[in-house]
Chain A
Amino acid sequence: MAKSVILSGEGSIIQMLKYINWGLVLLVTLLASVGFTALYSAAGGSFDPWAGKQMIRYSVFMIGTIIIAIVDIRFWYRIAYPFYFTCLVLLVIVDVMGVIGMGAQRWINLGFIQIQPSELTKIAVVMALARYFHSADAQDMKSLRFLLIGVSFLVAPFILVATQPDLGTSGVIVMAGLAMFFLAGAPIWIFIVGAVGAAAAAPMGYLLLHDYQKQRVLTFLDPERDPLGAGYHITQSKIALGSGGFEGKGFLKGTQSHLDFLPEKQTDFIFTLWVEEWGFFGGAFILMIIAAILGYGAWISMRCRHSFGRLLAFGLMINFSIYVFINVSMVMGLIPVVGVPLPLVSYGGTAMMSVMIGFGLMMSCNVYKDAKLPRM
C-alpha cells in the first residue's frame, strides 16, 4: 500500500516526476555540455583535469536537483527562515576563521565537500524574502516598517560577504534582493531614493575598497593604463574574443587560451575560450540557451498559483541571470573584473551546486504550483 503511494497515484513519485520540467533539465544540460566541451579544450583536448570531473559533478548534482524538485514545496516554505539563519551563522564562522588566522577563506571544508556559505546565502536570501513577501498585502508593502524589516534580510548577508571580502557575490545578493522587493510590489519611489543614495555613497564606498579592488575599477575605466598589469586580463580576453571572428578558430585551436595568455581560462574566462574557438555563433548559442532558461523560469513563475512560488522561481531566475550578466560583461570588458564564474559552464562545484539547487527549487515551484501554503 505504502509502496503504491510512492510509485503510483496522485502525489506519488512517478506522478511528481511527470511534473518535472524536462525541457528545463534539457536546457540546463545543454549549457553544462558547452562547459564540458570548453573544459575539454582548455585542457588541450583532455578530460583530465577538468572536463571529466565536471561531468561527474554535474550528474551527481542533477540527481540532487530532481530530488529537490519533488520535495513538497511546503517543506521549503517552512525551512526558508531556518535556512537563512543557518547561512548567516556559517558566514560568521567563515569570517571568524579568517580573522583567527587561517587566512581569508570563503569556504568550510566538511571533508567530503567544501561549502561556500556565500553561495548558499544567495539562495537563502531569495527564499527568505519570498517567504517574507508571501504573506504581505498591499498595506504591508506601503509600510516603511515592513519594508525596513525586509531590507534587514539583505543588510546582514551583504556585510558578512563583503567583508570576506567578496564584493562580487555580495553585489549579486543585493541585486537579487532588490529585484525581489520590486517584484513584491514595493513602491517605486523607494528605488529612486535608493539609487540616488547609492550614487552619493559610491565615492565613499570606493575609499573602503581594497587596493586590488580599486585597481580593478581604475583598470576597467582605462584598460590600456597598465596593459601588462591589472588591465592584462581584460585586454587578453578581448583579444581572444575578437580574434575568434564569426566562425571561430575551431575546436581545440584557440591560440590565446592554449598559450596561457588567457588567465583563469577554465573558470572565470571560460566564455572567452569558448568564443575564441566557436566564434560569434558559439557565443550567440550560449546567449540563446540562457535566454531560453530565463524564459522558462519566468514561465514557471507565472504559472504558479501562490505568491511564494512566484517570487521564489522568479528570484532564482534573476539570481542565475545576474551570474551570467556579470560574467559575460566582465569578459567582454563591459564591467571591471570580478571573480564571478559563468554558472554551469565554468569549472567548479560551488557555483554549479548553488544554481542547480536553484533550478531544483524552481522546478519544485512547478511541481507544486497548486499547493496551498499557509498565510501568517
Chain B
Amino acid sequence: MTLEKDSDKAVGFSRRAFVIGSLQGAFLVLLGGRLAWLQTVEGNKYKTLAENNRINLKMMAPARGQIVDRFGVPFAVNNQNFRVLVIPEQTDDLKESLNKLSHLIKLPEGTIENVLKLAKKSPVYTPIEVTDDLNWQEVATVEVNIPDLPGMSIDAGEVRHYPFADAAAHIIGYVGTASKKDQEGDSDPLLTLPDFQVGKIALERTFDKELRGKAGSSQVEVNVVGREVRELKNAQSLEGDRIILSIDAELQRFAQQRLSSERSASAVVMDVHTGEIYALASYPAFDPNYFTGGISHERYEELSGDITFPLTNKAVAGQYPPGSTFKMITALAALEAGVITEGTVASCPGHYDFGNGRFHCWKAGGHGGLNVTGALAESCDVFFYKLSTELGIKRIADMARRLGLGSKFDMELKEERAGLVPDEAWKKKKYAEGWHPGETVIASIGQGYMLATPLQLAVMTARIANGAKAVKPWMVGFTGDTPIKHGAWDDLDINPKHMDIVRRGMTRVVNDQRGTGYGARIKEPGMEMAGKSGTAQVKRITKAERAAGVKNEDLAWQFRHHALFVGYAPLENPKYACSVVVEHGVGGSKAAAPIVRDLLLMAQQRDPAKKPLVAEPAQTEEKTKHG
C-alpha cells in the first residue's frame, strides 16, 4: 500500500519535475537568445557606444613662446602653476571640504568665504579655483588626501610670468583670457579652450600668432569617472616661437629706473644706423603679472584713472609739441632751401613782431647776434621765427616728415601714434580755415599744432646723426629661427654739409658753455654727446602771467611745461640716439637733459650694438652633441 503510494508520488513528482525542468530549459534558451541578440544584432551599436565611452579627444594647449632680449635674457616666460579646483556638485558639503583643505594647506585669509560666495553664483558643475601657486609640498599634501576631498582636484597649468615686472611692461605687454572679440575672425581652435590666454597689448598682442604655437591633440582613454587611464594617440603641441628683441634688458631696466626720478616721463634709446631699439621706457608703468591672473577691478580703476597714465606707453603713444627740439628741422629746411648759410647772422632783441602779433623769445633780454649753430646752442627762438616767415609752412612740414615726424613707422607696437605735422591742407580739412602766417612762426619752434612722440624724436635725432639715412625703429629681430629683415634704409637726400652744420649746433648745445645743455654734458672722453633741449607749452602764457613774472614751476603740475631733450653719442661716428620727455618737467635742459646724458652714457658703456642680433643656436646644440 505504502509502496504503491510511493510510486504514485514518484510518478506525480516526475511529471511536475518535468514541467519545472522544461521551464528552466526554456529560460536558459531565452537567456542564450537574448545574449545572441545583444551581441550580434545590437552588437555594432554597442560597440560604438563602448568606444565613445572610453575615448576623450582632448586639445592640448601649446606652451607660449618666450620673449627674450638680445642677449637671451627672458622678458616673458611660462611658470608652472598648481591650483586647487573644486566642483561644488561633487562635494558632499562644500564648506566642510574647504575646511578640511584648510587643515592641510594654508589658505589665504577669506578664501573659504570667497569660494562659497562664488559657488552660490555659478552653476554647480563648474570648477572653482580655491587657491593657486601651490608649492611642491602643498601639491603632494593635497594629492595624498584627494580621497578625503571629494570634488577637489589639482590642476597643473602654465601661467605667463614677466620677470622684469614693470620695467618692460609697455614693450612686452601681457596676456589675458581670450574675449569674444579676440575669437572673432580667428578660427584657431585653441581659442575655444576655457581660460586660453592671448596677448592683449604690446608685443604679446602683435606677435600673438607666432607666440601661441600649434594645438596638440590627445586621445585619452578615460574610465567611468573621467579619469585618464592611458593615452591612445597623441599629436604633440608645437611650442610657440621664441621672440628675440633688440632690447638690452639691462639698459631697459636702467632707463625705467632712471625715469622714476620724475612723476611721468618716457625715453627711447636706439641705434642710429640700424634702427634697433635698445630701450623704450615709459614711467610710471604697471606690473603685467597682475594682469595674467585677471586684475581686480579696483586696481584697474586705480591704474586707468591715474593722470600720469601708467597704462599708456608714452614713448610711442604720448604726443607732445616737440618745442625747441624741432629747431633742427627748421634749420635744415632753411639751409636746404638756401634761405641761410652757416654764416648768416641774425640779431635777437628778445621778441619778434609779425603781423599784429609779438612773438617772444624765451630769453627776455634777447640773444643779440647769432648764426645758426649759435641759435641752436642757445635755443634762440627769434632766429627761427625770422627763418619761418621766409620758408613758409610747406617747406618746414616737408622737412619734418622727411625726418620721421607726422606718421607712424608701423613698428611692432600697435600702440604707436602718428603725431602731427600741420600744413595748409591739413588745416583746411580739419578746421575748414586758411593757414595763418603767424602759425608758421610758432610751428618753426615746434609749438602750435605740431605734435611728436618720443619715438619720433629719437628717430629724428638718429636720422640727423647717421648722415641722413631714413632709418626706422624696430625691436623684433627673430621670431623662432626666422630673422626679420629691417633696412637697408633710403637716403634722405639732404646735403651732408648742412647735416654737419646742424650737428655742430647740437654739439654746441651740450659742449659750449653758453649751450642750454652744458650742465648735462658727458665728461667721459670719447663718449661726449650732442643734443637739443626743448620745452613745450601746455598752457599759453597769458599776458598777465608774463607781466607778473609767474614762474612756470609754481603752477599746478598739470599746467607746467613739458621738458624734452634729444641727443646722440658719441660725437664722432654716432651710434646711439636718445629722446626723453618729462611730462610737466618745466625745462628741457634742466629736467630731461640729465636723463638723456645718463642713458647715452650707459648705452655707450654697455654698448649693446657691439653684439649683432642673431638667433640663439638653441636647435643646433643637439646636433653638435651628436657630432
Q: Which residues of A contact B (CB under 8 A)?
A: 137-138, 179, 182-185, 236, 238-246, 255-256, 259-261, 275, 279-280, 283-284, 287, 290-291, 294-295, 298, 301-302, 307, 310-311, 314, 318, 321, 325, 328-329, 332, 334, 375
Q: Does B411 have its Cβ within 8 Å of any Cβ on chain A?
A: no
Tell me the minimal C-beta distance from A279 to chain B in angstroms. 7
CB-CB under 8 A from A138, the residues of chain B are: 5, 8-9
Does B498 sit within 8 A of A, measured CB to CB?
Answer: no
In Å, the complex CA distance between A307 and B2 comes to 12
**Contact between A183 and B39, CB atoms less than 8 A apart:** no
Check if B407 is an interface residue, CB within 8 A of chain A. Answer: no
B339 interface residue per 8 A CB criterion: no
Which residues of B are in contact with A by a Cβ distance under 8 Å? 2, 5-6, 8-10, 12-14, 16-17, 19-21, 24-25, 27-28, 31-32, 34-36, 38-40, 42-43, 45-47, 49-50, 53-54, 221-225, 229
B16 and A183 contacting across the interface, CB-CB below 8 Å = yes
A259 contact from B8, B34, B45, B221, Cβ within 8 A: B221
Shortest Cβ gap from B15 to chain A (Å): 9
In the bound complex, what is the Cα–Cα distance between A84 and B25 (angstroms)?
Answer: 30
Contact, CB under 8 Å: A256 / B50: yes
Q: Let me know if B46 and A291 touch, CB within 8 A.
A: no
The answer to whether A332 and B34 have CB atoms under 8 Å apart is yes
Query: Quick one: which of A179, A185, A244, A318 contacts B39, CB cutoff 8 A?
Result: A244
| B39 and A241 form a contact (CB under 8 A) | yes
Residue of A nearest to B227 (CB): A260
Choose one: B9, B25, B54; the contact of A255 (CB below 8 Å): B54
| B38 pairs with A246, CB closer than 8 A | no
A291 interface neighbour in B2, B28, B38, Cβ under 8 Å: B28
Point out which of B36, B39, B40, B54 has the most chain A C-beta atoms below 10 A from its C-beta.
Answer: B39
* Sample (5) of A-B pairs whose CB atoms are under 8 Å apart: A183-B16, A242-B38, A242-B47, A307-B9, A307-B10
B40 CB contact (under 8 Å) in A246, A256, A310: A246
- In whole angstroms, what is the CA distance A294 to B223 when docked? 38
* Contact B32 A261, beta carbon cutoff 8 Å: no
Minimum CB–CB distance for A268 against chain B, Å: 16
Query: Which of B5, B38, B53, B222 lies at the interface centre, i.e. has the most chain A CB atoms within 10 A of its CB?
Result: B38
Q: Which 7 A-B pairs have the closest CB atoms?
A: A242-B46, A243-B50, A259-B223, A260-B223, A243-B47, A283-B35, A260-B224
Given contacts A259-B223, A261-B53, contact A241 B31 (CB under 8 A): no
Contact A241 to B17, CB < 8 A, known contacts A256-B53, A260-B223, A321-B24:
no
Distance in angstroms between the alpha carbons of A294 and B29 in the assembled complex = 13
Does A242 lie within 8 Å of B17, measured CB to CB? no
CB contacts (< 8 Å) of A245 on chain B: these are 39-40, 43, 47
- Decide if A261 touches B54 in the complex (CB within 8 Å): yes
Task: Determine the distance from Cα of A283 to Cα of B34 in the docked complex, in whole angstroms.
Answer: 11
Distance between Cα atoms of A261 and B8 in the complex (Å): 55
Which residue in chain A gives the minimum CB-CB distance to B55?
A255
Q: Which of B42, B46, B225 has the most chain A CB atoms inside 10 A of its CB? A: B46
A239 to B53, CA, bound (A): 9
Please report the C-alpha to C-alpha distance between residue A261 and residue B56 in the assembled complex, in whole angstroms: 14
Distance between Cα atoms of A359 and B50 in the complex (Å): 38
Chain B neighbourhood of A298, CB < 8 A: 17, 21
**CB contact under 8 A between A183 and B13, given known A241-B35, A242-B45, A259-B224:** yes
CB distance from B90 to the nearest CB of A (A): 13
Chain B residue at minimal CB-CB distance from A240: B50
- Contact (Cβ within 8 A) A307 B6: yes
Q: Is B35 in contact with A280, judged by CB distance below 8 angstroms?
A: yes
* Among candidates B2, B9, B49, B222, residue contacting A239 with C-beta atoms closer than 8 Å: B49
Say yes or no: B31 contacts A325, CB within 8 Å: yes
Known A-B contacts A242-B43, A261-B54; the reply to A302 vs B17 at CB < 8 A is: yes
Report which of B13, B27, B36, B222 forms a contact with A185, defined as CB distance below 8 A. B13
With a cutoff of 8 Å between Cβ atoms, the chain A residues found around residue B222 in the complex are 259
Q: How many Å lie between the Cα of A328 and that of B221 in the bound state?
A: 28
Chain B positions within 8 Å of A290 at CB level = 28
Question: Given the complex of chains A and B, what is the CA–CA distance between A240 and B46 in angstroms?
Answer: 7
Q: How far is the CA of A151 from the CA of B224 in the complex (A)?
A: 46
* Chain A residues with CB below 8 A from B224, complex form: 236, 259-261
Q: For the complex, what is the distance from the CA of A310 to the CA of B223, rounded to whole Å? A: 50
Among candidates A183, A238, A259, A275, residue contacting B17 with C-beta atoms closer than 8 Å? A183
Chain A proximity of B420: nearest CB distance (Å): 65
A314 contacts B17, C-beta separation under 8 Å: yes
> CA A280 – CA B35 in complex, angstroms?
7
Identify A302's interface contact among B5, B6, B14, B31, CB under 8 A.
B14
Least Cβ–Cβ distance between A141 and chain B, in angstroms = 9
User: What 6 additional pairs, Cβ within 8 angstroms, besides A185-B12, A280-B40?
Assistant: A238-B38, A256-B53, A256-B54, A280-B35, A294-B24, A294-B28
For the complex formed, measure the closest distance between the CB of A290 and the CB atoms of chain B, giving whole angstroms.
Answer: 7
In the complex, the answer to whether A325 meets B27 with C-beta atoms within 8 Å is yes
Contact call B47/A332, Cβ cutoff below 8 A: no
Once the chains bind, are A275 and B10 in contact (CB under 8 Å)? Answer: no
Min CB distance B50 to A, Å, is: 4
Query: Which chain A residues border B16 with CB–CB below 8 Å?
Result: 182-183, 185
Min C-beta distance of B8 to chain A, whole Å: 7
A259 and B54 in contact, given A183-B13, A287-B32 (Cβ under 8 angstroms) = yes
Closest to A311 in B: B13
State how many angstroms separate the Cβ of B16 from the closest Cβ of chain A.
Answer: 5
Complex contacts, A246 vs chain B, CB 8 Å: 39-40, 43
Q: What's the Cα separation between A260 and B224 when bound, in Å?
A: 6
Q: Which among B5, B31, B54, B223 is the interface contact of A328 at CB below 8 angstroms?
A: B31
- In whole Å, how far is A313's beta carbon from the nearest beta carbon of chain B? 10
Say how far A159's CB is from chain B's closest CB, in angstroms. 25
Q: How far is the CA of A311 from the CA of B16 in the complex (A)?
A: 11
Q: How far is the CA of A241 from the CA of B10 in the complex (A)?
A: 42
Interface centre among A239, A291, A314, A325 (most CB of B within 10 A): A239
Complex-state Cα separation, A375 to B222, whole angstroms: 65
Inter-chain contacts of A256 with B (CB < 8 A): 50, 53-54
When distances are taken between beta carbons in the complex, the residues of chain A under 8 Å from B221 are 255, 259
Residue of B nearest to A261 (CB): B224
Note all chain A residues with C-beta closer than 8 A to B8.
138
